[in-house]
């Protein structure tokens, strides 16, 4: 089991029970574990924008070669969570509170336009599909399965985008890495029951069913921005308390 913490020296500590003699399947497993833990650390704010992830130190702590660590970092790079700076190494991109709010604003705009169109031109089975996804979200919430909840949440919103009939809107929305940032929202929301997150999608379906374009657009924008405010405000408070750059490596 790999665990990641940031110690009082602002150092990323990665510990593992994996041995140095790992073969290829084991290395691949280590890569998946490193990817999952680093991803969660970035999404929940343990790793912040600008924090450095030292590849050699991660590999040393794991007791394996750099290959699985490098593979994990490349996957994180594809997801837009880390970047490689020539001659400097790997750094968490993360999101500043301002970045996060911009993301929610863009999502609200794109999905608002999509909901407006979908309310009058969506296929007949759209509402039933959305209701089915809400039921799946409720079950995921009751089992505290964040991964499944996020996946069904993303599919719910993607169906609305696709029902707008605009491939351009869909491409723009996909560029926002919806899977990553939906997971981020779920991880950073405090004091909100998971079942509440699932149930709050029902008013979106009601708005689409009304065929009132203005209401459909307004409801889905509010749906997104209300979550955005709950996520961004604590992040802003945390940033103000911990102002200043951090140099992150591997705890020894």
DSSP 149-218: HHHHHHHHHHHHHHHTT-HHHHHHHHTT-HHHHHHHHHHH--S--HHHHHHTTHHHHHHHHHT-HHHHHH
Q: How far apart are CA 190 and CA 171, in angstroms?
A: 31
Domains of the chain in start order, with CATH, are: 3-94 (1.10.10.10), 97-238 (1.20.120.530)
pLDDT in tens, 97-150: 888 899 999 999 999 999 999 999 988 899 999 999 999 999 999 999 988 999
Rounded to whole angstroms, how far apart are CA atoms 213 and 223?
15
pTM check: above 0.85: no
Look at residues 132, 146, 207 and name the one whose alpha carbon lies nearest to residue 179.
Answer: 146
Write down the pLDDT at residue 17: 38
pLDDT computed for residue 26 by the predictor: 53
pLDDT of residue 39: 80
Q: How far apart are CA 199 and CA 134, in angstroms?
A: 7
- Is 173's pLDDT higher than 90? yes
């Amino acid at each position: 089991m790999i665990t990641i913490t940031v110690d009082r020296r602002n150092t990323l500590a990665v510990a593992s029970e994996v041995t140095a003699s790992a073969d290829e399947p084991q290395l691949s497993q280590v890569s998946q574990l490193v990817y999952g833990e680093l991803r969660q650390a970035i999404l929940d704010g343990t790793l912040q924008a600008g924090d450095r992830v030292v590849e050699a130190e991660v590999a040393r702590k794991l007791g394996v070669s750099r290959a699985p660590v490098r593979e994990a970092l490349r996957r994180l790079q594809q997801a837009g969570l880390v970047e490689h700076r020539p001659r400097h190494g790997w750094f968490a991109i993360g999101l500043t509170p301002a970045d996060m709010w911009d993301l929610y604003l863009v999502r609200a705009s794109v999905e608002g336009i999509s909901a407006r169109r979908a309310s009058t031109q969506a296929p007949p089975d759209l509402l039933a599909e959305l209701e089915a996804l809400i039921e799946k979200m409720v079950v995921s919430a009751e089992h505290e399965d964040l991964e499944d909840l996020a996946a069904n949440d993303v599919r719910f919103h993607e169906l609305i985008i696709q029902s707008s009939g605009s491939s351009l809107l869909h491409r723009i929305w996909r560029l926002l890495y919806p899977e990553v940032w939906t997971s981020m929202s779920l991880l950073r929301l405090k004091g909100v029951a998971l079942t509440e997150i699932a149930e709050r999608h029902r008013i979106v379906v009601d708005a689409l069913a009304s065929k009132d374009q203005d209401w459909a657009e307004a409801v889905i924008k509010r749906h997104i921005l209300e979550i955005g405010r709950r996520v961004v405000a604590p992040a802003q408070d945390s940033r103000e308390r911990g102002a200043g750059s951090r140099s992150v490596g591997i705890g020894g």
